[in-house]
């Protein structure tokens, strides 16, 4: 076994053995090509893997893992590399197994509302494959146009619609995984099985385990009926406190929106500059509130939400007038991180969850941290489930800013 912190050596013979399994076009070993795999979306730390392999089947993954086990080489499973916490860093080098060529939706079982997909399948492609039949795959991380189902399993991803529909573990019925010795197992419901599983329920074991237990190769996901109708509202508030109180009051009134998202002033300004939706530049915070369900029930709920927002001093509450406006609004929200480039060359995001009732207190704390450390910290987050994303802006060319960015991250 490679001792801790000592970089694993990948010999030419090992590269040749990997090529024999996945083909020469499935192995990346050149230094400049490996740079693509040196980090994920947490770009502050970087480690090059010794080699990257791009298998096309479970058999190829199993053969690679077995070879690595025999040679005591670390393996690092990787999807799209959009994780925000350095989970795919090859800290001691080793063999990175990127699943991006195993990206197909293999089968859709409409009668049982399930789909069998390869682990490298992009999240949004699952819904795209079934939406004509009125179904969708619910977990929708904001990175869903790039991130993979295998990565979602690795991180137990949530997203804007987690508030109502839950996270990845609530929508994965079972999966195939290659264990560290190369054995292939299926955990949970099988594609041809019923919902109940005999024996121990091990399905949850690897969900959220960041690839530590093996390489997931195929996933059986639950599909659900798409809501009949949506009403998407934009609430404009003078302060984050007022917007946070409106979040608590909406849930307190027994309304469970499909999504309840907040953007503070700094991120709203950046998003507006990038995507020109028409967000007010002087608002303290905006809320995106999406109601979904039976069309007949939504008008009443929307009226209640408008009233709650107004009671919390909302300056304006708008309802998206059609599907296109709704899509535009979501595009802005889901691409908010992409707009950060307008504010700063680098950012680190934290991803923490607090009880909804603590949102105002936490947002004030983040503001104080920002002042204390002299770094700007915009916030865009899943307010309904108290899932915060303070984005700490810094410039990596300035070592003191890097130091302060790490220190303020610790504090938060
Ligand atoms: C702009 C942006 C918005 C985001 N929004 C959200 C959000 O709303 N909600 C959210 O939860 N996250 C969000 N994220 C974080 C990230 O997109 C998710 O964690 C996503 O699930 C990672 O998927 P990936 O395919 O990129 O996985 P990677 O980053 O490649 O890997 C993530 C982890 O999963 C493991 N892994 C990957 N594939 C496999 C596999 N086949 N078998 C076993 N382990 C595997 C890796 O080893 C690693 O530990 C966002 C990221 C960005 C950049």
For 312-364, what is each residue's pLDDT tens digit?
Answer: 999 999 999 999 999 999 999 988 988 998 899 999 998 889 998 888 899 99
Q: Mean pLDDT throughout 378-404?
A: 94
pLDDT band at residue 279, thresholds of 50, 70 and 90?
very high
Q: What is the pLDDT of residue 6?
A: 78
Q: Probe ligand 1: pick from 37, 124, 154, 209, max atoms within 8 Å of CB?
A: 154
Q: Mean pLDDT throughout 75-94?
A: 95
How many whole angstroms from 51 Cα to the centroid of ligand 1?
A: 21
Q: What is the pLDDT of residue 193?
A: 82
Q: Mean pLDDT throughout 359-388?
A: 93
Q: Probe ligand 1: pick from 103, 139, 155, max atoms within 8 Å of CB?
A: 155
Handedness of CA 147, 385, 270, 230 (dihedral sign): positive
Nearest 5°: the CA angle 310, 311, 312 is: 85
Q: What is the pLDDT of residue 385?
A: 87
Tokens encoding 17: 């053995």
In Å, how far are 94, 269, 272, 285, 286 from 281, measured between CA atoms? 47, 5, 8, 10, 10
Instruction: Indicate if the pLDDT at residue 63 is higher than 80.
Output: yes
Distance CA 300, CA 322 (A): 18
Distance CA 308, CA 289 (A): 12
Q: What is the DSSP letter of 379?
A: B
pLDDT band at residue 4, thresholds of 50, 70 and 90?
low
- Please check whether the domain covering 229-411 is classified as CATH 3.40.50.12780: no
Q: Mean pLDDT throughout 20-46?
A: 95
Where b means 16+ CB within 10 Å and e means fewer, 82-109 reads bbbebbbbbebbbbbbbbbbbbebeebe
Q: Establish whether residue 58 lines the binding site of ligand 1, counting it when its CB lies within 6 angstroms of any ligand atom.
A: no
Distance CA 299, CA 225 (A): 21
Q: Establish whether residue 78 lines the binding site of ligand 1, counting it when its CB lies within 6 angstroms of any ligand atom.
A: yes
What pLDDT, in 10s, does the model give residues 161-207?
A: 888 999 999 999 999 999 999 999 999 999 998 877 888 889 998 99
Q: What is the pLDDT of residue 251?
A: 92
Calculated CA dihedral for residues 112, 113, 117, 120, nearest 10 degrees: -150
Percent of the chain with pLDDT strictly greater than 70: 99
From atom 7 of ligand 1, which residue's Cα is the shortest distance away? Answer: 141
Q: What is the pLDDT of residue 82?
A: 96
Q: Which CATH architecture has domain 105-225?
A: 2-Layer Sandwich (3.30)
Nearest 5°: the CA angle 394, 395, 396 is: 115
Task: Point out the ligand 1 atom lying closest to the alpha carbon of residue 40.
Answer: 29
Q: What is the pLDDT of residue 1?
A: 44
Is the Cβ–Cβ distance between 62 and 184 less than 8 Å? yes
DSSP secondary structure, 286-338, as one string: EEEEEEEE-HHHHHHHHHHHHHHHHHTT-SEEEE--SHHHHHHHHHHHHTGGG
Q: Establish whether residue 139 lines the binding site of ligand 1, counting it when its CB lies within 6 angstroms of any ligand atom.
A: no
Distance CA 68, CA 263 (A): 45
Tokens encoding 115: 């789909």
3-state secondary structure of 22: helix
Distance CA 317, CA 336 (A): 21
Q: What is the DSSP letter of 206?
A: G
Q: Establish whether residue 87 lines the binding site of ligand 1, counting it when its CB lies within 6 angstroms of any ligand atom.
A: yes
Q: What is the pLDDT of residue 196?
A: 78
CATH class of 12-98: alpha beta
From atom 21 of ligand 1, which residue's Cα is the shortest distance away? Answer: 152
What pLDDT, in 10s, does the model give residues 200-237?
A: 889 998 999 999 999 999 999 999 999 999 999 999 99
Question: pTM of whole model > 0.85?
Answer: yes
Q: Mean pLDDT throughout 96-115?
A: 97
- Provide Rg for the chain, Cα atoms: 23
What is the chain's mean pLDDT, rounded?
Answer: 94
User: 11: closest CA among 95, 103, 89?
Assistant: 95
Nearest 5°: the CA angle 30, 31, 32 is: 95
Distance CA 234, CA 333 (A): 11
Length of the chain: 412
Q: Mean pLDDT throughout 61-79?
A: 97
Same fold, 12-98 and 105-225: no
Q: Establish whether residue 84 lines the binding site of ligand 1, counting it when its CB lies within 6 angstroms of any ligand atom.
A: yes
Domain ranges of the chain: 12-98, 105-225, 229-411
Q: Mean pLDDT throughout 387-397?
A: 94
How many whole angstroms from 365 Cα to the centroid of ligand 1?
A: 28
Q: Mean pLDDT throughout 282-289?
A: 96
Instruction: Indicate if the pLDDT at residue 250 is higher than 90.
Output: yes
pLDDT band at residue 3, thresholds of 50, 70 and 90?
low
Is the Cβ–Cβ distance between 344 and 352 less than 8 Å? no
Which of 54-68, 214-228, 284-298, 343-357 bottoms out in mean pLDDT, i.e. has the lowest?
Answer: 343-357
């Amino acid at each position: 076994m490679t001792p801790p912190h000592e970089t694993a050596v990948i010999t030419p013979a090992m590269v040749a053995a990997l090529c024999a399994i996945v083909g020469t076009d499935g192995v990346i070993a050149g230094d400049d090509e490996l740079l693509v795999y040196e980090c994920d979306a947490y770009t502050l730390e970087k480690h090059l893997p010794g080699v990257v392999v791009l298998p096309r089947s479970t058999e190829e993954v199993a053969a690679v893992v077995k070879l690595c086990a025999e040679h005591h080489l670390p393996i690092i499973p990787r999807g799209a590399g959009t994780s925000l916490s350095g989970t795919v860093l090859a800290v001691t080098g080793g063999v990175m197994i990127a699943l991006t060529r195993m990206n197909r939706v293999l089968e859709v079982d409409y009668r049982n509302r399930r789909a069998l997909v390869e682990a490298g399948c992009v999240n949004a492609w699952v819904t795209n494959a079934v939406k004509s039949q009125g179904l969708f795959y619910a977990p929708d991380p904001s990175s869903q146009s790039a991130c993979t189902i295998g990565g979602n399993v690795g991180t137990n991803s949530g997203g804007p619609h987690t508030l109502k529909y839950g996270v990845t573990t609530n929508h994965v019925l079972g999966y195939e995984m290659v264990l560290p010795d190369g054995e292939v197992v299926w955990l949970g419901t099988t594609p041809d099985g019923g919902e109940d599983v005999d024996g121990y329920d091990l399905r949850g074991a690897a969900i959220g385990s960041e690839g530590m237990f093996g390489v997931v190769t195929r996933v059986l996901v639950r599909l659900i009926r798409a809501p009949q109708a949506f009403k998407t509202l934009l609430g404009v508030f003078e302060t984050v406190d007022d917007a946070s109180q409106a979040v608590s009051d909406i849930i307190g009134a027994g309304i469970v929106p499909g999504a309840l998202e907040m953007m503070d002033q700094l991120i709203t300004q950046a998003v507006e500059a990038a995507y020109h939706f028409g967000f007010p530049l002087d608002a303290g915070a905006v809320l995106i509130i999406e109601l979904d369900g039976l069309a007949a029930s939504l008008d009443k709920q929307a009226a209640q939400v408008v009233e709650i927002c107004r009671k919390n001093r909302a300056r304006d509450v708008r309802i998206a007038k059609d599907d296109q406006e709704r899509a535009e609004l979501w595009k802005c929200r889901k691409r908010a991180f992409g707009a950060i480039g307008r504010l700063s060359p680098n950012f680190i995001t934290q991803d923490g969850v607090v009880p909804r009732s603590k949102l105002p207190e936490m947002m004030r704390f983040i503001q104080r941290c920002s002042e204390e450390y002299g770094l700007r910290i915009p916030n865009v987050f899943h307010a309904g489930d108290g899932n915060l994303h303070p984005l700490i802006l810094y410039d990596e060319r300035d070592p003191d800013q890097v130091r302060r960015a790490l220190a303020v991250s610790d504090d938060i």
